[in-house]
Amino acid sequence: MRVLITGAKGQLGRGLVASAPAEADVEAVDIDECDLTDADAIGDLVTTIEPDIVINAAAYTAVDKAESDEETARAINSGAVKAIVDAHDGKLVHVSTDFVFDGRSSRAYQPDDTRAPISAYGRTKAEGEDHLRESDILVRTAWVYTAGGTNFVRTMLRLMRDKPALNVVSDQIGAPTWAPGLAATIWGLLDKDASGTFHHSDAGTASWYDFAVAIQEEALALGLLDAAIPITPITTADYPTPAARPAFSLLDSSKTRALLQDGHTHWRVNLRQMLREEKTLG
């Protein structure tokens, strides 16, 4: 089974490469090997490698920057997906986001719920989803983090060391996602020869404030921080950003868990594991 992974140096990409099954002959590429704004380059790459499966873990994820650079975001989040589909007859696994929803739901979003993005990033990711075929796999996720990556957890650790206090938004609700767990789900869906739309995030619910408080508590217990600092909950209105964020973006992963029969690990358990790995990195 020959597998092409795009976005190989990103948080999910690294997890996919590290956890690839023995039978997978993996070709992993990132932006330095292929310009994902260049449809011809993507087509040439796919034609040259001739993969049985493509896992597209690449994305333009600079949510705020996308508001002023939607053209580039669209080229990567939508155009690259179309280029892969045009060049590849086999299965595509495409990773998308909670940002395709407007955040007005009163329950966790189901895979077939109506999309209504409220940002350039969300719009371009929704457009990318529309290029998929019935035989492909779409996996939506949210709040991804991993040891050694660029993410909320590591940003909080840095700020907790450098600042006397923090203010963190408390009225945006979702669930964190540990990248190795997401990678395991993707390989599991491929093993089941699945197709269609699936959701994956860790079990439980949190605000960004809840997440920050847990990060500090767990980091203190592991000796990653020397002392606690005050963390104050604030509203989204108190922290304006160029891009609107969904106020509620919890994803219902029950369909995924039922298919894979793999249980559902709570986000705080995975956070603890990530911080152990972070401590090992030094």
Extract the tokens encoding 56.
Answer: 């597209």
Question: In a 3-state reduction of DSSP, which class is residue 37?
Answer: coil
Residues of the chain with pLDDT under 50: none
Average pLDDT, rounded, for the chain = 97
Give ∠ CA 37-142-270 in degrees, rounded to 5: 125
Amino acid type, 198: F
pLDDT digits (tens, 9 = 90+) for 59-105: 999 999 999 999 999 999 999 999 999 999 999 999 999 999 999 99
Q: Which helix (H) or strand (E) holds 219?
A: helix 208-222
Straight-line distance from the first to the last Cα atom of the chain, in angstroms, rounded to the nearest whole number: 36
Cα–Cα distance list, 9 to 54, 99, 194, 249 (Å): 16, 22, 25, 26
pLDDT in tens, 207-234: 999 999 999 999 999 999 999 999 999 9
Query: For 249, phi and psi rounded to 5 degrees?
Result: -135, 35
Q: Which CATH architecture has domain 2-281?
A: 3-Layer(aba) Sandwich (3.40)
3-state secondary structure at position 111: coil
Residue (of 195, 185, 194, 152) closest to 253 by Cα position? 185
- For residue 84, give the amino acid letter: I
Structure tokens at 25: 């002959």
Written as one letter, the residue type at 266 is: H
d(CA 201, CA 117): 19
Q: What is the predicted pLDDT for the residue at 263? A: 85
- Which helix (H) or strand (E) segment holds residue 138: the answer is strand 137-141
Backbone phi and psi for residue 174, each to the nearest 5 degrees, phi listed first: -165, -145
Q: What is the per-residue pLDDT for 282?
A: 79
The backbone torsions φ and ψ at residue 37, rounded to the nearest 5 degrees and listed phi first, read -90, -5
Q: Of 60, 109, 121, 145, which one is the catalytic site residue?
A: 121
Active site residue 145: no
Q: How much is the pLDDT for 203?
A: 97
Which DSSP helix (H) or strand (E) runs through 187?
helix 179-191
Q: For residue 31, what pLDDT is reported?
A: 87
For the full predicted model, state whether its pTM sits above 0.85.
yes
